[in-house]
Chain A
Amino acid sequence: MGITHQPAGHKTATTSWRVVDIVIAAVIAVSSGVIFWAWNSSHHLLDVLFLAFPPSAALVSGMWLFPAVLGALIIRKPGAALFCEVVAAMVSALMGSEFGLTVLASGLIQGLGAEVVFAAFRYRTFNLPVALLAGAGAGLFGSVNDTFIFRWFPEYTTGMLMAYIGFMTISGIVIAGMLSFLGTRALAKTGALGALASRKAATEPILG
């Protein structure tokens, strides 16, 4: 018989990744990577808005965090947040990034921030509060990485660093958490998620 490692009848294991989960996660991640790349080369245009207080630039950093939350909300498997964020980072690095290969490490840490939140809810709850928390987690991990591990801003005072962390966490909540949640519901309405565990996302209770 053909080579098969699949059990004959039931494949109920909700934590295992199917091929369709992997490929859709990959496409979300790769598309996000292109958005990163476009964002990398254009976000400096907004710098002028944050001149008065440079750490406030972290208010738009959620743009680098959304694949983690969006991927996990759509795929609903362990590791989805991590996978989407890392692959997105890798694609943006392959296309040429001002952060070079360090984006891989950043992606890993940001993805981890969202992943721990979904894991804490045992990959069973994907409502709005969890999405917002996951966005906050990605923002917190990402900003601590920027400020204290990679030290991108050696010129900042401690107060400025703390402000940066606060701003990026807020950005994570709004851009990565809120927008991903709304996006997932809108996608579910189109029927595009029919093959995935999130196919009913649009009719699930928002807070429940």
Chain B
Amino acid sequence: MGTGITMSSASMLHRENDTAATVQHRCDAVSVSARNWGWRHADRKQAALSGLDLEIRAGERVLLAGPSGAGKSTLLYALAGVLDEDDETYSSGELLLDGAPAAQGRGLVGLMQQDPETQVVQARVGDDVAFGAENLSVPPAQIRRRIIEALDAVGLEVPLDHPTSALSGGQKQRLALAGILAMGPGLVLLDEPTANLDPDGVLEVRDAVLAALDSTGATLLIVEHRLEAWAAHMDRVIVLEPGGGIAHDGTPGELFAPGPVREKLIAAGVWVPGYTPAFDPLPAPGESAALLLEATDLAVTRKRGARPAASGLDLRLGAGEAWCVRGANGSGKSTFALTLGGLLPVGSGTVLATGELAAGTEARPYHWRASELVGRIGSVFQEPEHQFVTNTVAEELAYGPRHAVKPGTREPLFTEREISSRVEALLSRLRLGHLAEANPFTLSGGEKRRLSVATVLAAGPQVLILDEPTFGQDANTWRELALLLREELARGTAIIAVTHDADFARALGAHEFVLASPATADGTAPAAARPGLLEADVRGGTSFLGRANPLAKLAAVALATIPLIASMDWVSSGIVVAATMLALPLASLSVPRFLARGWPLLLAAIFGAWGTALVGNDSGAVLLDLGLFDITEGSLAAGAATGMRAFAVAIPAVLVLFTTDPTDLANALAQKARLPHRFVLGALAGMRLLGLLIEEWTTLGMARRARGVGSRGSAAARLRANLGQVFGLLVQAIRRASRLAVTMEAKGFGTAERTWLNASSYGRRDAGIVAAGLLLGTGATWAALALGTWNLVWS
């Protein structure tokens, strides 16, 4: 600290004292100017932006639009100071904030990106709001006040220790905004802040943004595809030209009024307000449309045995029909779609294929092999990358048809010639021909969406199920998607789309299937309330050990473990095991709850004991003869000692695990153990992503089954499927981490000094815990020596 307070935070401090009574303090709005500015990313050949000249006055609200690839996000990142310059990047000209280079402007600028999951850094709401202010070395007392003010300004009414993982997407974005406000920035940058949200979430976030800006007066620069919600509240719209420069610059009224500019924007895929691509109404499918799939009194759930997400669902799906599934967040829309798609087992009731779709075989889609499913029901997931399973676009399209089999047999559904003609047709139909050899992961957002639909269509399913296919898409991709699906309908394919997009439903001529709102008393998503895998149990966290410094606990366990490492005897191990059991109440742990968590360790200890008993030095009477190996009195004793030692090494850590919150551990490691905070907090952020990745693992499994990746076959097939899935997860993990790093950097993370909202303390309780560990270690050693069982492993 101390040196960390520079002029700007000092003046901010002053300002805040002046207006301590008002809810939100006004900040000094920042002006932006670009002079012949350009940037090329390290992994690209072409510049994202070049020759940009731009002046934005302090306090202006500017909407930044333009076709994808015009460099909108690059400009925002550069203004946020998170574009890293290295040998392979190239920049030109100047980009200034209030006349100073943008790269030095951290703390003046707040940035929000589109993926809600990577806008959150910390595990608890209060900590997350504080994160940016801590990095700017704002004194803790002031941060506390700013947290309250910021949460108030965005209208997020949850307790400060509320787990961030339990928030909805819209709430997460408002939380991110609160964190930005707490930094007191003069320029707020929003990169498609509502692209991943449903219509209610969009309005929720927009209103929070506008209210916050009304009170702070900061400059706003926002990138969005869907302009409807924002345009009326903007002072100015700037349309970037792909390749460099500004195509149009004016007020929303000027640019969006009927005329050539509006037409040009529409042609470039910009969602200008009031525009939806128009389609002729589709002819209604004949009365005689064949029934393909029937759900009767269906209840759906993600977890076997859990309360169903929705129940009492009845649907009769005929060939050539389109249905759009609607409902509030948490009403079970996606779960319903996954169940219909044969990816989740039914909770109760039935989902049965009929007629042509059943083809006289097993009628329950969940019981089909992946290779039988892929040619009959295709599911398109919300995130296209979840469904990519090969290295090139062409292979990706060929994968489904190549793996599809005739129902109930192992005969291929398509010949090689049919496969290549299907691939060719789709490549040209979706104008992906020039990308045939490209890696699917490297495509643009719109290309990925088109490809993900095409890969599923490639195997010719009779039923197509899509989850929010239009989220975040520009108007051109939207129109192409609608055209493609209309062709499928005309061909007799039945379509179910989970979508909030009423225009899209209209373009498909879809019937509505509305799911009732979740009728729970608490109203929140039930699964989200559980603590994460790595979060301390609520009861453990408030126990005697739960309130202790994590470092003290670790030191105590380390001290008690030393004799166990040094000696292989049952006395010292037995004493440590007994002491651990006696300490369970200090962690508010009962024996059954302890066993619920510690049984794998017990099992491992028994395995170890068994191994030693088998191969250990034989002495004494032979108790059991297994041919090559035998168990003797001597080896049995050695086995018991090995097992007891393994158990004693393992279980004290359970006490620490059960009572320690990773956030507290990180605070202690950085503040008390003086480890570099960048690495400690980086690791903590990585841990927070973990819960997300575990969820993603399940989603990936289903998404890949929908592509025809079988995971129910031989051991080799399972191994291959699992390795592919691990790889898919790693790709998602690294992408998420990259976005999270941008969030953290934009919040000023990475500087040498920072303040801490939660000071890590070390008191008498902690000294006592360390002393107890020391006592246990020496006591166990002494007892083993006294009883003559001490057996140094290095001797």
Q: Which residue of B lies closest to A20 (CB)?
A: B741
> A28 CA to B690 CA in the complex, in Å?
10
> A10 CA to B91 CA in the complex, in Å?
11
Contact B751 A26, beta carbon cutoff 8 Å: no
Q: Choose one: A12, A25, A148; the contact of B682 (CB below 8 Å).
A: A25
- The verdict on A54 contacting B611 (CB below 8 Å), with A1-B6, A190-B731 known, is yes
B162 is an interface residue with CB less than 8 A from chain A: no
Q: Choose one: B7, B106, B615, B741; the contact of A155 (CB below 8 Å).
A: B615
- The verdict on A1 contacting B744 (CB below 8 Å), with A12-B86, A100-B561 known, is no
Contact A2 B8, beta carbon cutoff 8 Å: yes
Q: Please indicate the chain A residues that have their CB under 8 angstroms from the CB of B104 in the complex.
A: 1-2, 4, 6, 8
> A9 CA to B81 CA in the complex, in Å?
11
B740 is an interface residue with CB less than 8 A from chain A: yes
22 pairs from A and B in contact (CB 8 Å cutoff): A2-B108, A2-B136, A3-B106, A11-B84, A11-B85, A23-B740, A25-B686, A28-B734, A34-B690, A35-B726, A51-B629, A83-B679, A91-B534, A93-B657, A96-B601, A100-B649, A183-B727, A187-B731, A189-B441, A191-B43, A199-B42, A200-B43
**Cβ contacts B725-768/A at 8 Å (1 or 0 each):** 01101110111111011101100111111000000000000000
B604 is an interface residue with CB less than 8 A from chain A: yes
Contact B733 A28, beta carbon cutoff 8 Å: yes
> A195 CA to B742 CA in the complex, in Å?
10
> A199 CA to B84 CA in the complex, in Å?
14
Contact B557 A101, beta carbon cutoff 8 Å: yes
Contact A5 B751, beta carbon cutoff 8 Å: yes
Q: Please indicate the chain B residues that have their CB under 8 angstroms from the CB of A190 in the complex.
A: 439, 441-442, 731
Q: Please indicate the chain A residues that have their CB under 8 angstroms from the CB of B693 in the complex.
A: 31, 34
Q: Choose one: A3, A11, A192; the contact of B107 (CB below 8 Å).
A: A3
Contact B616 A155, beta carbon cutoff 8 Å: yes
Q: Please indicate the chain A residues that have their CB under 8 angstroms from the CB of B608 in the complex.
A: 98
Contact A101 B615, beta carbon cutoff 8 Å: no
CB distance from A114 to the nearest CB of B (A): 18
CB distance from A21 to the nearest CB of B (A): 8
B281 is an interface residue with CB less than 8 A from chain A: no
> A1 CA to B693 CA in the complex, in Å?
38
Q: Please indicate the chain B residues that have their CB under 8 angstroms from the CB of A30 in the complex.
A: 683, 686-687, 689-690
Q: Please indicate the chain A residues that have their CB under 8 angstroms from the CB of B740 in the complex.
A: 23
Which residues of B535-565 are within 8 A (CB) of A?
554, 557-558, 561, 565
A186 is an interface residue with CB less than 8 A from chain B: yes
Q: Which residue of B lies closest to A24 (CB)?
A: B737
> A2 CA to B97 CA in the complex, in Å?
11
Q: Please indicate the chain B residues that have their CB under 8 angstroms from the CB of A150 in the complex.
A: 565, 793
Q: Which residue of A lies closest to B682 (CB)?
A: A22
- The verdict on A195 contacting B741 (CB below 8 Å), with A25-B682, A96-B598 known, is yes
Q: Please indicate the chain A residues that have their CB under 8 angstroms from the CB of B744 in the complex.
A: 19, 23
> A22 CA to B682 CA in the complex, in Å?
6
CB distance from A18 to the nearest CB of B (A): 6
Q: Which residue of B lies closest to A90 (CB)?
A: B683
Q: Choose one: A3, A10, A31, A74; the contact of B85 (CB below 8 Å).
A: A10
Q: Please indicate the chain B residues that have their CB under 8 angstroms from the CB of A24 in the complex.
A: 734, 737-738, 741
CB distance from A17 to the nearest CB of B (A): 7
> A9 CA to B101 CA in the complex, in Å?
9
Q: Choose one: A3, A31, A191; the contact of B6 (CB below 8 Å).
A: A3
Closest 5 CB pairs of A and B: A26-B686, A2-B107, A22-B682, A151-B793, A98-B604
- Chain B contact residues: over half helix, strand or loop, or mixed? helix
Contact A27 B731, beta carbon cutoff 8 Å: no
Contact B649 A27, beta carbon cutoff 8 Å: no
CB distance from B99 to the nearest CB of A (A): 11
- Additional A-B contacts beyond A93-B653, A97-B650, A98-B601 (13; CB < 8 A): A2-B108, A3-B137, A11-B86, A22-B678, A31-B733, A40-B600, A54-B611, A96-B654, A98-B608, A98-B649, A101-B561, A155-B612, A191-B43
Contact A2 B534, beta carbon cutoff 8 Å: no
Contact B441 A19, beta carbon cutoff 8 Å: no
A52 is an interface residue with CB less than 8 A from chain B: yes
Which residues of B562-607 are within 8 A (CB) of A?
565, 568, 597-598, 600-601, 603-605, 607
B652 is an interface residue with CB less than 8 A from chain A: yes
Contact A31 B43, beta carbon cutoff 8 Å: no
> A47 CA to B606 CA in the complex, in Å?
13
Contact A4 B751, beta carbon cutoff 8 Å: yes
Q: Which residue of B lies closest to A50 (CB)?
A: B611
> A204 CA to B738 CA in the complex, in Å?
22
A95 is an interface residue with CB less than 8 A from chain B: yes
Contact A2 B6, beta carbon cutoff 8 Å: yes
A108 is an interface residue with CB less than 8 A from chain B: no
Q: Please indicate the chain A residues that have their CB under 8 angstroms from the CB of B690 in the complex.
A: 30-31, 34, 91
**Cβ contacts B703-738/A at 8 Å (1 or 0 each):** 000000000000000000000001101110111111
Q: Please indicate the chain B residues that have their CB under 8 angstroms from the CB of A19 in the complex.
A: 678, 682, 741, 744-745, 749-750
> A44 CA to B600 CA in the complex, in Å?
11
Contact B439 A189, beta carbon cutoff 8 Å: yes
A193 is an interface residue with CB less than 8 A from chain B: yes
B617 is an interface residue with CB less than 8 A from chain A: yes
Which residues of B476-491 are within 8 A (CB) of A?
none
Contact A194 B42, beta carbon cutoff 8 Å: yes
Q: Which residue of A lies closest to B42 (CB)?
A: A199
> A64 CA to B657 CA in the complex, in Å?
21
CB distance from B693 to the nearest CB of A (A): 6
> A10 CA to B86 CA in the complex, in Å?
7
Q: Please indicate the chain A residues that have their CB under 8 angstroms from the CB of B51 in the complex.
A: none
Contact B106 A20, beta carbon cutoff 8 Å: no
Q: Please indicate the chain B residues that have their CB under 8 angstroms from the CB of A155 in the complex.
A: 612, 615-617, 635, 638, 642
CB distance from B176 to the nearest CB of A (A): 16
